Chains A and B, each alone.
Chain A
Amino acid sequence: MSRLLLWLPLALFLGFVVTVAVGLRKPVDTTIRSQMIGKPMPDFALAPAVANHPPLAAADLRQGGPRLVNVFASWCAPCKAEAPQLDALKRRGVPIDGIAIRDRSGDVAHFLAEWGDPFERIGADPDSKVQFALGSSGVPETFVVDGRGIIRHQHIGDIRPENVPEILAAWEAAK
């Protein structure tokens, strides 16, 4: 018995080495997913981000049909990259609302004029409060919200052309 006990520290050490080696080989995933999927949209009522779009409130997302909520900013480069994909989704009949994070009205208007405007409503979130309430950890992010205001899907990062089908499918599934 005590003979076996003598080997215990070495066994523990080897176990530790194996655990670390396995952990090091695993690719690191640092994306922080929102825990709000399947939960109702947190309550909010934002001021309009630009003059020619109505503002966005949580109540606007409980109107019976699924919608996309795109969290974006005029100062965010990947938001420009995903503009054609948002436009494609809009052409497929997907209604899209926007939340502009820490942005100025003039900058948002300029951004929409230059990169395309797929939005129906746009709310201004100047101090990231609604972004925190959503569990969103950056721009851009896109949420699928069903007709009862339940968050169904979160896409983190810019929407690439290959992501369009999965977002379309999530939107269809939320009907």
Chain B
Amino acid sequence: MRLSFRAAKRPGHPAGGGGRSGLVRFARDHGLAFIALAIAAPAFAQSSLPPSRYAYTQLEDPRQEAAAKALMETLRCLVCQGQSIADSDADMAGDMRALVRERIRAGERPEAIRRWLVERYGAWVSYKPPVEPLTWPLWAAPVLLLTLGLVLARGRFKRRKRS
């Protein structure tokens, strides 16, 4: 749906809008569209409850907050799957931040919290890939490629020396 009124189509108005600035012209042409966007309800339903206590509030201890932040940046938001929970404004991400902060506050280690979540959602919930048979190629590839490169380079240098 696109709502706009073009001056050129209105009788008694010179096409182009005379000496008005581009911004003013844009606002006039698309004013209704702006209003429609502003009052449109978001497609994603969210709860009417206020966010959890630690969803948007940092921990009192800066060292604990730093540990929580580092963990939150490597946990995937479940409803907005391309984002970390640190980046997302979804209710569920807020609740997960609260969960992380409360557990860190209670003295739990970040890796234990990650393990707890991976136990429930699988390795997918973590942005830190685990070292397991499925991901061995991922970890081995840089070493293998570097070795291959060194071997190739050595061959070339040797040949150049001889000539």
Chain A residues proximal to chain B, CB less than 8 Å: 2, 5, 30, 32-36, 73, 75-77, 101-104, 107, 126-129, 132-135, 137-138
Contacts and interface: CB of A to CB of B under 8 A. Distances in A.
A76 B45 contact: yes
Contact of A36 (B79, B120, B125): B120
Interface string B68-111: 00000000001101000000000110011011000000000000
Given A127-B52, A129-B99, A35 B79 contact: no
Contacts of B47: 73, 75, 101-103
Contacts of B37: none
A32 B96 CA distance: 16
Contact of B48 (A33, A34, A107, A133): A107
The 5 closest A-B pairs by CB, nearest first: A135-B120, A102-B47, A128-B95, A137-B78, A127-B52
By size class, the interface of chain B is 20 to 34
A104 B92 contact: no
Interface string B117-154: 11111101100000000000000000000000000100
Contacts of B124: 32
A13 to B, nearest CB: 13
Contacts of A128: 91-92, 95-96, 99
A30 B81 CA distance: 8
Given A35-B119, A128-B95, A129-B95, 9 more contacts: A75-B46, A75-B48, A102-B47, A102-B95, A127-B95, A127-B98, A132-B96, A137-B92, A137-B121
Nearest to A101: B47
B95 A32 contact: no
A77 B99 contact: no
B49 interface: yes
Nearest to B99: A132
Interface string B36-54: 0000000001111100100
A68 to B, nearest CB: 20
Contacts of B95: 102, 127-129, 132
Contacts of B125: 32
B120 A133 contact: yes
A1 B119 CA distance: 48
A123 to B, nearest CB: 15
Contacts of A34: 120-121
Contacts of B121: 32, 34-35, 135, 137
> B45, B47, B98: which has the most chain A beta carbons within 10 Å?
B47
> A34, A127, A135: which has the most chain B beta carbons within 10 Å?
A127
> A2, A33, A103, A135: which has the most chain B beta carbons within 10 Å?
A135
A75 B79 contact: no
B12 interface: no
A137 B77 CA distance: 9
A62 B117 CA distance: 24
A5 B91 CA distance: 54
A35 to B, nearest CB: 5
